[in-house]
Amino acid sequence: MQYEDLYRRSVEMPEAFWAEQAAAIDWRRAPDAILDQSAPPFRRWFCGGLTNLCYNAIDRHLVDRGDQLALVAVSTETGVTRELSYRQLHREVQTFAAVLHELGVRRGERVVIYMPNMAEAAIAMLACARIGAIHSVVFGGFASHNLALRIDDAKPALLICADAGMRGGKVIAYKPLVDAACEEAVHPPRHVLVVSRGLDRELVMQAGRDVDYAGAAARHANSEVPVAWLESNEPSYVLYTSGTTGKPKGVQRDVGGHAVALALSMRMVFDVGPGQVMFSTSDVGWAVGHSYNVYGPLLVGATSLLYEGLPIRPDPGIWWQLCERYRVRTMFSSPTAIRVLKKQDETWLGKYDLSAFKWLFLAGEPLDEPTAHWITDGLKRPVIDNYWQTETGWPVLTLLPGLDMKPVKLGSPGLPNLGYKLRLVNEVTGADCAANEKGVLTIQPPLPPGCLSTVWGDDQRYVQSYFSHFKELLYSSLDWAIRDEDGYYYILGRTDDVINVAGHRLGTREIEEVVAGCGEVAEVAVIGVADEIKGQVPIVFATLKAASCDAGERQRAASAMQARVVEQLGPIAQPARTYIVDALPKTRSGKLLRRSLSALAQKADPGDLSTLDDPSALEAVRKALARGPDLRHG
């Protein structure tokens, strides 16, 4: 079938279309109704249907492919590779689920997982899904304060952590960060389950709270844990994403819709089926890690390759070596990673047998044309840009090689994916935009299966964050875009104050709140600017309470700001440059002119300044930029 025909059916006859797609997963009880949208913008998919993500990912494959590899976890940091068949993964998940039961975790309770890309992270997620617990995976690079915020929002019964992770050969102890987070949190978990790899030789266990996983697993080596059959719309997991305020948003995903959408995307988008291999380089703490490191490949009976390490360690050919060894068909990575590889000798791209390799997908931030040309020419394979969000859980814009491969247009993430009824609208009037006219990318409800069902514990925030921007009820992506005459979309950037650092969404407001906590800071504004490697990086402009200060005092203050950001938000949020300025440009109503700051930082026109309160503030910023940053990182 042609893309155009199936896409039209998916948006004009959504119930019929998704009823057909629901047959791709197993149901304990078939849905009573495919769609309930009686309370917009909320919607419920496959109402009344009973299913289970773990069952669909593992149990149903045991008869036909029990001895096939299900999960391969490779760590170039520890030098350990684990290869698990579907049967072995089934055994380990049941053991882990039995440990969860022993620790009192019950259906509907939350479990926070704070681990690197190791096999046990995926096993823990699947074990939670098996018993109906709601997992919330937190990226292992987040600092303790950031972890504490998520603990207090999720109120977990249990936290699972590794003793440590590794990055570039350096051990990063996780357990002390967990201890600090639990000390800070108002609602700490009853227990902390520690999966030790022997990396932290000073590991300290707290009596009565902490449990060693190895010992607990030994008691349940042969336990059998039946799956909990969940109604399609019960939560499967909560994944936190930065918002425009300091408080993170818990994106809540359902069970049935999530499974059906991922099964569809594996076939149609990523062109991966039973027995084939998918390699996603994402961290399990991100949305891609959930969808395409863990659940997606397993749902269709494929093999998932999980990687812990850098793309250039032990050498820049490591990813392609793994693609050769495991005969990877589809790889999913980020432009940031490819830009890192681009700095290396390009002969690494042709060193290995990639005869099984068909597709490279890139997402997380815009893909620039030079990088796209470099990797396309080097691999001699199609490179498919695609666009989606933590909130959507699977691609919104893409090409569909598993259905009908359309031409690649460099700079464009492609065409609307199946089920997404997209509209590009004027920011002010809400009117539909013409071809090549800039507008805000929106989705007309109902959101398709797989998208967030609400913000955890805060339905009002769900409505306010995503559906309150236009008179008409539309989901706003908060991204600018244009659409060309052929229907291809081009993403132009954010309409709010969230920036994309190496594929990680960070709220500039969140960074501002941390910097403002430094005692010497009077005012602060954080912006995102383009970066060749990371896509965007945060830049800090701050005024100090002291009337005047010399270069040494400015540098000390800037160092304190950077240290506080790293301590509370983690290294990924560390500002690339920090400027101490005499004043910040504001409107007469007191609103900081961040767009003008961004323009000045990137040597562009600062735009309409008719609302500027004090013109001398712009000169203060120009003076600081000409002087150079008071502190530079990276």
Between 91-95, 164-168, 300-304, the lowest mean confidence (pLDDT) is in: 164-168
pLDDT tier at 614 (50, 70, 90 boundaries)? confident
End-to-end alpha-carbon separation of the chain, Å?
Answer: 49
pLDDT at 513 over 70: yes
Q: Rounded mean pLDDT of the chain?
A: 93
Instruction: Decide if pLDDT at 221 tops 80.
Output: yes
pLDDT grade, residue 598 (50/70/90)?
confident
Q: How remote is the C-alpha of 556 from its chain's centroid?
A: 34
CB contact set of 440 (below 8 Å; sequence gap of 6+)? 424, 425, 426, 427, 469, 476, 477, 478, 479, 480, 481, 495
CA 497, CA 527: separation in Å to the nearest integer? 8
pLDDT of residue 589: 47
Q: pLDDT tens across 178-198, in order?
A: 999 999 999 999 999 999 999
Give mean pLDDT, residues 339-356. 92
Range of 199-203, 246-250, 426-430, 597-601 with top mean pLDDT: 199-203
Reported as a single tens digit per residue, the pLDDT across 4-55 is 999 999 999 999 999 999 999 999 999 999 999 999 999 999 999 999 999 9
The β-bridge relationship of strands 134-137 and 110-114 is parallel
CATH of 3-309+386-455, one of 3.30.420.10, 3.30.360.10, 3.30.70.270, 3.40.50.12780: 3.40.50.12780
Can you say how many angstroms the Cα of residue 291 is from the centroid of all Cα atoms in its chain? 10
- Comparing CA positions, the residue from 122, 111, 63 lying closest to residue 87 is 63
Bridge partners of residue 423, in order along the sequence: 442
**307: which 2 tokens?**
């990687």
CATH topology of domain 498-632: GMP Synthetase; Chain A, domain 3 (3.30.300)
pLDDT band at 590 (very low <50, low <70, confident <90, very high): low
* Residue for token pair 């849905």: 31
Which percentage of the chain shows pLDDT scores above 90? 77
pLDDT in the model for residue 149:
93
CA dist list (Å): 315 to 12, 45, 347, 349: 50, 46, 12, 12
Of the candidates 83, 30, 25, 81, the residue with the CA atom closest to the CA atom of residue 58? 25
pLDDT of residue 495: 75
pLDDT of residue 321: 98
pLDDT at 508 over 90: no
Q: What is the mean pLDDT of residues 402-418?
A: 96
* Residue range(s) of every CATH 3.30.300.30 domain in the chain: 498-632
Residue 516 dihedral angles phi and psi, to the nearest 5°: -60, -20
Q: What is the pLDDT of residue 271?
A: 98
Q: pLDDT value at position 246?
A: 60
Residue with tokens 């470099």: 374
Mean pLDDT of 219-240: 97
Residue 244 reports pLDDT greater than 70: no
What gap in Å lies between CA 455 and CA 246, rounded to an integer?
15
As a whole number of angstroms, the distance between CA 111 and CA 135 comes to: 5
Residue 119 binned pLDDT confidence (cut-offs 50, 70, 90): very high
Q: Would you say residue 146 has pLDDT above 80? A: yes
- Report CA 57 to chain centroid distance, whole Å: 21
Higher pLDDT, 509 or 542: 542
pLDDT confidence tier of residue 404, bands split at 50, 70 and 90 = very high
Of the pLDDT bands very low, low, confident and very high (cuts 50, 70, 90), residue 587 is low
In the chain, where does the domain assigned CATH 3.40.50.12780 lie? 3-309+386-455
pLDDT band at 472; cut points 50, 70, 90: very high
What residues are paired with 112 via a beta bridge?
136, 159
Name which of 476, 467, 567 is nearest 517 in CA terms. 567
